[in-house]
Amino acid sequence: MFASLVRPLSKGSQITKVLVTSNNVAKFSTSGVLRKDYHDILIESHGKVGLITLNRPKALNALSSHLFHEINSALEKYDEDPNISTIVITGNERAFAAGADIKEMVGKSFADVYKTAFLGHWGKINDIRKPVIAAVNGFALGGGCELAMSCDIIYAGEKAVFGQPEIKLGIIPGAGGTQRLVRAIGKSKAMEIVLSGRNFTAKEAEQWGLVSKVLPVDKVLDEAIKLGQEIASLSQPSIQAAKESINRAFELSLKEGCHFERKLFYSLFALKDKEEGIDAFVKKRDPKWTDE
């Protein structure tokens, strides 16, 4: 038996009908076309922006292996979809994601986690070519903070709370927390946060450079989608090249990074969009991008 509801979307978005079965499995149809079944996420499109909403409200969106596999599946499908140019990941007002699902760690030995590469699949988001924006409200702790930091841009609600409290469980972050946090806010602040396990506010996250913008709670998702639409309106090969170049800055020396950047810069001269952009600028008109 199915119950149905329609999530209201912004202007220019496709309406996604959510069909909920008696065993709480959600199925999604956009414009009447049935899409892939998901249990723990909602997916919908806003023009060229693909939206992934974490949907384990009773568990404060704790990131179980199953949930993360669904996130990866949706990300990969959006990355291959020619009608989608940017992706937004969000939760709800109480929690973006309150952390990894601790129940999955109970009773696990070193051999268990090592042989199965526990949390290894969390790194697949790094392979997504299109820009990914995190719209964070509520708790973004542990794995939730790591997921947000794995995105390219973070917008946060004014009541959002970030943190890497793993040390209080006798472990450390295991999905990039120590590595991304120090790159975002510096060694001293990262040491303070990780070694104490204390949380920090959205305002602090913005001051330290972790978050791009802090917004009223009810504006975060709309503004993230608006930014996604703005990015989606530009030349997509250039956008993806810019993302790749920025990410390489964390891996290369300044000299090597500038050399990599220049090679990508040269390569864009082969695009029709480069000619269109230059011509539009000279003639003072709006460019018409073809993504070619």
pLDDT tens, residue by residue, 167-197 = 999 999 988 999 999 999 999 999 999 999 9
Whether 192 is catalytic is no
pTM of the predicted protein model: 0.85
Whether 100 is catalytic is yes
Catalytic residue chosen out of the listed positions 70, 146, 206, 261: 146
Residue range 41-232, CATH number: 3.90.226.10
**What average pLDDT is seen over the chain?**
86
Question: For the chain, what is the HEC assignment?
Answer: CEEEEEECCCCCCCCEEEEEECCCCEEEEECCEECCCECCEEEEEECCEEEEEECCHHHCCCECHHHHHHHHHHHHHHHHCCCCCEEEEECCCCEEECCECHHHHCCCCHHHHHHCCCCHHHHHHHHCCCCEEEEECCEEECHHHHHHHHCCEEEEECCCEEECHHHHHCCCCCCCHHHHHHHHHCHHHHHHHHHHCCEEEHHHHHHHCCCCEEECHHHHHHHHHHHHHHHHCCCHHHHHHHHHHHHHCCCCCHHHHHHHHHHHHHHHHHCHHHHHHHHHHHCCCCCCCCCC
For residues 275-284, average pLDDT? 92
The pLDDT of residue 94 is above 50: yes
Residue range 236-283, CATH number: 1.10.12.10
pLDDT tens, residue by residue, 209-263 = 999 999 999 999 999 999 999 999 999 999 999 999 999 998 999 999 999 999 9
Q: What percent of the chain is modeled with pLDDT above 90?
A: 74
Catalytic residue chosen out of the listed positions 62, 97, 100, 135: 100
Catalytic residue chosen out of the listed positions 44, 91, 99, 166: 166
Catalytic residue chosen out of the listed positions 143, 176, 177, 228: 143
Whether 120 is catalytic is no
Whether 230 is catalytic is no
Q: What are the structural domain ranges in the chain?
A: 41-232, 236-283
The pLDDT of residue 112 is above 90: no
pLDDT tens, residue by residue, 28-63 = 333 323 345 788 999 999 999 999 999 999 999 999
